[in-house]
């Protein structure tokens, strides 16, 4: 036992230096673990409020609509909405590409159909925010007869809609793009 005390007394300075180095190594390790934990938590926070937009169609005999729905967990900040038709005409809203009237040919001749009797529409959604599980209706139309349905479907089927958006951290998300060919399936 006396030998141990003599050893400790003789090498006190060396043992203190080793203790100090071990404390420094432990501190550095703790800082590295803290940084890794911080980055992991930051990624989790960003992903926990990520918006996921979906362009939704409703094509019924009594109601036709196009909506942008947020299926994600965080709000979506709309940066740009672009609609394009087969003539490569571009617009910032769906209704800008829908003509006032369209001529529909029938077996008994033709009829002029007024396509601008919307229930609801928006012209520009840039800068707007869509909360989680909410939506913005781009256009909503209630036809009065079968020719109205045919006319609006004929126009909508040729559109492609693109929505650019970001999350609350202003991180650009993948653009939501959908063509509207679905409306042409019954023509």
Check residue 133 and give its pLDDT. 96
**3 vs 20, which has greater pLDDT?**
20
The answer to whether residues 24 and 113 belong to one domain is no
Task: Give the model's confidence band at 87: pLDDT under 50 very low, under 70 low, under 90 confident, else very high.
Answer: very high
Full residue range of the structural domain in which residue 81 is found:
53-184
β-sheet bridge partners, residue 129: 77
The Cβ of residue 78 has, within 10 Å, a number of other Cβ atoms equal to 20
CATH code of the domain containing 146: 2.60.40
Task: Give the model's confidence band at 12: pLDDT under 50 very low, under 70 low, under 90 confident, else very high.
Answer: confident
The answer to whether residues 60 and 132 belong to one domain is yes
- Residue 119: pLDDT over 70: yes
The answer to whether residues 67 and 99 belong to one domain is yes
The answer to whether residues 68 and 158 belong to one domain is yes
DSSP class of 24: H
Closest CA to 183 of 147, 161, 148, 159: 159
The Cβ of residue 167 has, within 10 Å, a number of other Cβ atoms equal to 19
Check residue 160 and give its pLDDT. 97
Distance from C-alpha of 20 to C-alpha of 15, rounded to nearest angstrom: 9
The contacts found for 178-181 with CB under 8 angstroms, 24 or more apart, are 178/55, 180/57, 180/66, 180/156, 181/157
The answer to whether residues 79 and 40 belong to one domain is no
The answer to whether residues 35 and 122 belong to one domain is no
DSSP class of 96: G
The answer to whether residues 26 and 104 belong to one domain is no
- pLDDT per position as a tens digit, 42-84: 888 777 889 999 999 999 989 999 999 999 999 999 999 999 9
The answer to whether residues 66 and 34 belong to one domain is no
Average pLDDT, stretch 106-122?
80
Distance from C-alpha of 165 to C-alpha of 18, rounded to nearest angstrom: 56
Average pLDDT, stretch 97-103?
86
Task: Give the model's confidence band at 8: pLDDT under 50 very low, under 70 low, under 90 confident, else very high.
Answer: low
Q: Exposed, middle or buried by CB within 10 Å (0-12, 13-18, 19+), for 73?
A: middle
Distance from C-alpha of 179 to C-alpha of 162, rounded to nearest angstrom: 9
What domain count does the chain have?
A: 2
> In which element (H, E) is residue 109 found?
strand 109-114
Average pLDDT, stretch 102-108?
76
DSSP class of 33: H
The answer to whether residues 116 and 174 belong to one domain is yes
The answer to whether residues 19 and 94 belong to one domain is no
- pLDDT per position as a tens digit, 139-170: 999 988 888 888 899 999 999 999 999 999 99
Distance from C-alpha of 8 to C-alpha of 170, rounded to nearest angstrom: 60
Task: Give the model's confidence band at 104: pLDDT under 50 very low, under 70 low, under 90 confident, else very high.
Answer: confident
The answer to whether residues 95 and 32 belong to one domain is no
Mean pLDDT of the chain: 89
């Amino acid at each position: 036992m006396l030998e141990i005390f003599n050893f400790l007394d003789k090498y006190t300075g060396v043992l203190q230096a080793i203790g100090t180095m071990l404390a420094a190594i432990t501190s550095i390790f703790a800082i590295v673990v803290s940084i890794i934990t911080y980055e992991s938590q930051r990624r989790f926070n960003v992903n926990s409020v990520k918006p996921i937009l979906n362009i939704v169609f409703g094509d019924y005999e009594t109601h036709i609509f196009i909506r942008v729905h947020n299926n994600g967990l965080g709000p979506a900040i709309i940066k740009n909405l672009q609609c394009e038709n087969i003539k490569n005409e571009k617009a910032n809203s769906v209704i800008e590409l829908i003509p006032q009237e369209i001529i529909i040919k029938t077996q008994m001749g033709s009829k002029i159909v007024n396509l601008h009797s919307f229930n609801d529409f928006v012209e520009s959604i840039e800068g707007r925010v869509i909360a989680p599980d909410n939506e913005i209706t781009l256009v909503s139309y209630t036809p009065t007869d079968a020719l109205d349905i045919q006319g609006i479907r004929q126009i909508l089927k040729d559109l492609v809609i693109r929505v650019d958006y970001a999350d609350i951290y202003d991180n650009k998300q993948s653009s939501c793009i959908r063509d509207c060919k679905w409306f042409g399936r019954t023509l």
